[in-house]
Amino acid sequence: MDLRTLRYFVEVIHRQSYTAAARALFVTQPTVSKMIKQLEDEVGTPVLRKAGRRLEPTDAGRVVLERGSQLLALHAQLQAELADVQHVGRGELVLGIPPLAHHLLAPLLGRFHHDYPQIELKLFERGSRTVEEELRAGTLEIGAMLLPADENEYETLPICNFPLQLIVPASSRWADRGRVRLAELAAEPFIFYGEGFVLNEVVHDACVRAGFSPRIAGRSSQWDFMASMVAAGVGVALLPELFSRQLDRSRLAVVPLEAPQLWWHMAFAWRRGRYLSFAARAWLDLARRMLPGDGAQAGDNDSLWNGENR
């Protein structure tokens, strides 16, 4: 049983799709199927089963998944330590960044490339929930995810903390309101974030606590497309202030949310006790110098968002 076979199996479980796993591994779908069959032949029993629309490990598959993930994480750590010894200032950094954070972190990415041109940045662009799964599996060294995080499992470096605000068409009955309570929006259709975004859980859970289950009219991983759907009358959305202040106010209105106030509180996270490569340590050192610091909110971040170093 080799590491490549284990990696293919773990990827299929995480992606919930042979095709998606093949894309992530840069191979063909038949290659992935062949490797899973090879693994089952070696184990002597099936390792995957269909449960409705989901792919789930069998009893034997759960053992392979748990131990295989540990072996892959150890192998990644071994490679990182050897790379540090052999090529200080070179190598690669696999970084998990939710799509919403592109604009936010572009200055940091640019500065890192300027300071360390020999280090290749590989961006894993998924929602916070998926980023956390990949951190746990050892696929990523560092990932941006929403706080709070389990302090026993992760160390964190805060990135930002922005309140969520209600986005409605400029002609909406909510447009002239100074503030709105979440419970008042029970009858409105909502535009939610893409799959794997913890913000979906934040908004959904807050709605349930306010006494209703939100009716979802659409989803997108891109904040500007969410805003376009709102302008088209598809539904309302809750966006972090960082994005809502960039909207076209002739088409859209922004209304502060209260009772409760919800936050987009994001941080870089890495597994506690895991060895970090030179590239990962360099990234965190630069982030500590450039980021505004813990608890930073919308007006505190202008220097970074404009591309300046503090």
Structure tokens at 299: 């007006």
DSSP state of 99: G
Distance of CA 9 to the CA centre of its chain: 22
CB 167 within 8 A of CB 252: yes
CATH of domain 85-159+266-305: 3.40.190.10
Both tokens of 305, joined, read: 């968002």
pLDDT for 6 equals: 87
The residues of the chain that CATH labels 3.40.190.290 are 160-264
- Domain 160-264's class? alpha beta
As a whole number of angstroms, the distance between CA 208 and CA 222 comes to: 25
- CB–CB of 280/81 below 8 Å? no
Element (H, E) at 15: helix 3-15
List the structure tokens of 10: 């773990």
CATH architecture label of 3-72? Orthogonal Bundle (1.10)
DSSP state of 184: G
Whether this prediction's pTM lies above 0.85 is answered by no
Structure tokens at 288: 């500590």
Question: HEC profile for 231-281?
Answer: HCCCCEEEEEHHHHCCCCCCCEEEEEEECCCCEEEEEEEEECCCCCCHHHH
Q: 228-232: long-range contacts at Cβ-Cβ below 8 A with a sequence spacing of 24 or more?
A: 229/191, 230/167, 230/168, 230/169, 230/191, 231/169
Q: Cβ atoms within 10 A of the Cβ of 162, count?
A: 21
Quick one: pLDDT at residue 88? Answer: 52
pLDDT averaged per 10 residues, the chain (length 310): 84 86 86 89 88 86 85 76 60 86 88 89 86 85 91 93 96 94 97 89 95 96 94 96 92 93 94 86 92 54 41
Residues paired with residue 237 on neighbouring β-strands, in sequence order: 167
State the residue for tokens 């746990």. Answer: 136
229, 203 in Cβ contact below 8 A?
A: no
pLDDT value at position 138?
81
Q: Tell me what pLDDT residue 307 has.
A: 39
Q: Distance between CA 235 and CA 214 in Å, rounded?
A: 11
- The CATH 3.40.190.10 domain(s) of the chain lie at 85-159+266-305
Query: Rounded to an integer, what distance in angstroms lies between the CA atom of residue 157 and that of residue 95?
Result: 14
CA nearest neighbour of 3 among 68, 92, 81, 65: 68
Token pair in block for residue 246: 């960039």
